[in-house]
Amino acid sequence: MSTLNRRGFIKGAMLGAMMAAGLVTGHAFAADYPTAKVNTTGLAVTDTTVKVGILHSATGTMAISETGSIQAEKLAIEQINAMGGILGRKIEVVQEDGASDWPTFAEKAKKLLEKDKVASVMGCWTSASRKAALPVFEKDNGLLFYPTFYEGLEQSKNVFYTGQEATQQILAGLDWIAKEKKAKTFYLIGSDYIWPRTSMKIARKHIEQHLGGKVVGEEYIALGDTQFGSVINKIKLKKPDVIYAAVVGGSNVAWFKQLNAAGLNSSKQTMLTISVTEDEVLGIGGENLAGFYSAMKYFQSQDNDSNKKFVEAFKKRWGKDAVIGDVTQAAYLGPWLYKAAVERAGSFDVDKVQAALPGYEFKDAPEGPVTVEANHHLTTKLRIGQWGKDGQAKVVYTSGYIKPDPFPKGYQ
Amino acid sequence: MFGYSMAEIGNIVVMQGFSGLSMFTVLLLMALGLAIIFGQMGVINMAHGEFMTIGAYTTVLISKVAATYGFTNYYFVFAIAIAFVLAFAVGYFIEFIMIRHLYKRPLDTLLATWGLSLVMQQIFRSSFGAKEVSAELPEWMLGSFQPTPDIDIPINGVFVMVLAALVTFGVYMFMFKSRWGLRVRATVQNRTMAGAVGINTAKVDRVTFALGCGIAGIAGAAFTTIASTGPTTGTLYIVDSFMVVVFGGAASIVGTIASAFGIAQAQSVLQFFMTSSMGKVSTLLVIVSILMMKPEGLFASKLRK
């Protein structure tokens, strides 16, 4: 850890410029940053602490998915505190439960921002919860770090999106499968809500216009539906080269179990999914998934050093059976990016923090280095993982860096 | 025909026929327990799905034990038996502390059992974690049976089918051929008279409720082979269960069977020819319009009101 001692107090902008030049990564002492100077908007920042909110569903349907994010965020915060906190201030977590209910997310966001005066919030998971909370963050000028890969078509100065937007996840994956498997015909299947539908729209455009392929079927399953017999028979009749799937929740488990039971396992059928991470595998069972592909930016099995350290720390903190999926890793980035942003800004003021983060490269991200872009999304790589029976994926392809493009031209 | 050969179409018809039957048995297994509780006792049990979840978690736990002690191939028999016993016991207890105080207030049971379902979901979440888990299936239950190379009959589907047949037969024997069934039917038809001739109606109620819960437990165990196990798994089934029972005519077990068959076939065929969600919407529309004309369901009970 390098330290920089030759400065006393330097104004935020100046400091930001220096940090951007890579001069500062080290400890900062609270005494160097008097509270009155770094907190001019009345946030819950004292001489020794800063309050940060965590807003996920700990109860209800979505708890299945959001628990991992909560764990990752808490781990990151504990690690940051162990290193001395942010600008010498320890992070104090205020956790609220969105309870899988979208209006509750808005209510709790309001409580966190207006009553607790948290300096930033790690939270939301589904697009519906983010859309519900977004007006609150914009009105109260809060700061949200959002971890899930999502459909794009959104950009707010109050939100940093640490997961991938749709084109980052979809295009490179389709390119790979078309090339690698000589795929010409695709069957699109997803759950019936905004993310799969937007994703499939992008996928269809890409398949038809750029890959010269054909979409032979497009199907949406009601959320929670567990009967796939008829859909599977349709697929058998159409014999697509690739099934492109974005089925979520309880349906996801039923989909894979029934697909296998109907004889469509990976030896007979190629499938690329954008909705299966290590978390989902627990429910689906490795034996039902073996051989199929997922397109994600992160897999737990990645063997770079930063990931090994992360996996070890995560298991140490949350038990050796804990698994880490794509979103869990993205949630882990949130607190670290916030720390970097505050240090670059030399201030906790939301306007300064959000202006300071774009351009920052987080070199130690478990997934590998990521860069925050001006549109508040991250430049990342895409990886294709092939699932094994043990519930872990082997990375078979890694793309180059893909810039985020939340409003893709020609795909809307 | 439509660019497919006759053989292909033949194969699809066979597999489609099977998937319709398979959906029928799933719906039937879901609804049987509820048919007993709601149909016979008039208790709207919103926690029905959670009793299924008890069965599902039991199966998952036993599969873990089986993996340790190496009896994975036939643990399912134990899992189903224990799932039944556990769900029965919990049902017995719930009837005693809660349901029996609410028999005269049917709408309150709706609220109370809904609350119960939330409590149970949170208990599952606290004790088994929020993430979904899966029961490791024995080798023989994976994959499909192939009478010809192009026809795949899912083995787990056959398994659920056989189980549903056995349970239905069991319920039939219990209700119509046993002493207990006679008492249950007597209590349903005329509680006061049944009491007058010496039937312990309170006990009948308790056993009937527990039996319905036990069957839900069996259904939950069986569904681990086709779907997910998580704290809120029950909510996936509750709507379909009620739909089957209400559509069939609440007090009739034959009605439940007929209704499960009708709904499954309609949905399966419609979903093949339309998109999946449109198929489901159309089925629901048909059900709603039939219920508007025949509010008591397909097989109305011939009770004197």
Please tell me the predicted confidence (pLDDT) of residue B301: 58
> First-to-last CA distance in chain A?
46
Q: Which residues contact A258 (CB under 8 A, 6 or more apart)?
A: A228, A229, A232, B154, B156, B226
Q: Which of B146, B226, B190, B162 is nearest to A252 (CA)?
A: B226
Strand partners, A379: A371
At position B49, the amino acid (one-letter code) is G
User: What is the C-alpha to C-alpha distance for residues B177 and B206, in angstroms, rounded to an integer?
Assistant: 20
Q: Which of residues 286-325 of A touch B (CB under 8 A)?
A: 287
User: What is the C-alpha to C-alpha distance for residues B154 and A353, in angstroms, rounded to an integer?
Assistant: 56
At position B88, the amino acid (one-letter code) is F
Please tell me the predicted confidence (pLDDT) of residue A2: 43
Query: What is the pTM assigned to this prediction?
Result: 0.84
> First-to-last CA distance in chain B?
55
User: What is the C-alpha to C-alpha distance for residues A335 and B64, in angstroms, rounded to an integer?
Assistant: 37
Please tell me the predicted confidence (pLDDT) of residue A25: 47
Please tell me the predicted confidence (pLDDT) of residue A24: 46
Architecture of the domain delimited by A12-163+303-379: 3-Layer(aba) Sandwich (3.40)
Please tell me the predicted confidence (pLDDT) of residue A411: 82
User: What is the C-alpha to C-alpha distance for residues B91 and B110, in angstroms, rounded to an integer?
Assistant: 16
User: What is the C-alpha to C-alpha distance for residues B76 and B87, in angstroms, rounded to an integer?
Assistant: 16
CA A346 to chain centre: 26
pLDDT digits (tens, 9 = 90+) for A299-333: 999 999 999 999 999 999 999 989 999 999 999 99
User: What is the C-alpha to C-alpha distance for residues A351 and A175, in angstroms, rounded to an integer?
Assistant: 39
CATH fourth-level superfamily of A166-296+383-398: Response regulator (3.40.50.2300)
> Which sign, positive or negative, has the C-alpha torsion A329, A335, A341, A343?
negative
Q: Hey, how many other C-beta atoms are within 10 angstroms of the C-beta on B148?
A: 10
- How is chain B split into domains, by residue range? 16-236
Please tell me the predicted confidence (pLDDT) of residue B107: 85
Exposed / middle / buried, residue A67 (Cβ in 10 Å: 0-12, 13-18, 19+): buried
Q: Does A34 touch chain B (CB under 8 A)?
A: no
pLDDT digits (tens, 9 = 90+) for B177-208: 999 999 988 988 888 999 999 999 999 999 99
Q: Which residues contact A46 (CB under 8 A, 6 or more apart)?
A: A35, A89
Give the residues of chain B that fall short of pLDDT 50: 1, 304-305
Give the residues of chain A that fall short of pLDDT 70: 1-28
Q: Does B58 touch chain A (CB under 8 A)?
A: no
Alpha helices by DSSP H, listed for chain B, are: 6-34, 41, 48-69, 75-97, 106-128, 155-177, 179-189, 191-196, 201-223, 233-248, 253-273, 276-293
Contact between B236 and A233 using a beta-carbon 8 Å cutoff: no
Q: Which of A162, A127, A167 is nearest to A146 (CA)?
A: A162
Fold match between domain A12-163+303-379 and domain A166-296+383-398: yes
Distance from CA of B119 to the nearest CA of A (A): 11
- How is chain A split into domains, by residue range? 12-163+303-379, 166-296+383-398
Encode B154-173: b = buried (16+ Cβ within 10 Å), e = exposed. bbbbbbbbebbeebbeebee
Distance from CA of B215 to the nearest CA of A (A): 20
Interface test with B, best of A257, A267, A327 (most B CBs within 10 A): A257
Q: Does B42 touch chain A (CB under 8 A)?
A: no
Chain A CB contacts of B155 under 8 Å are 261
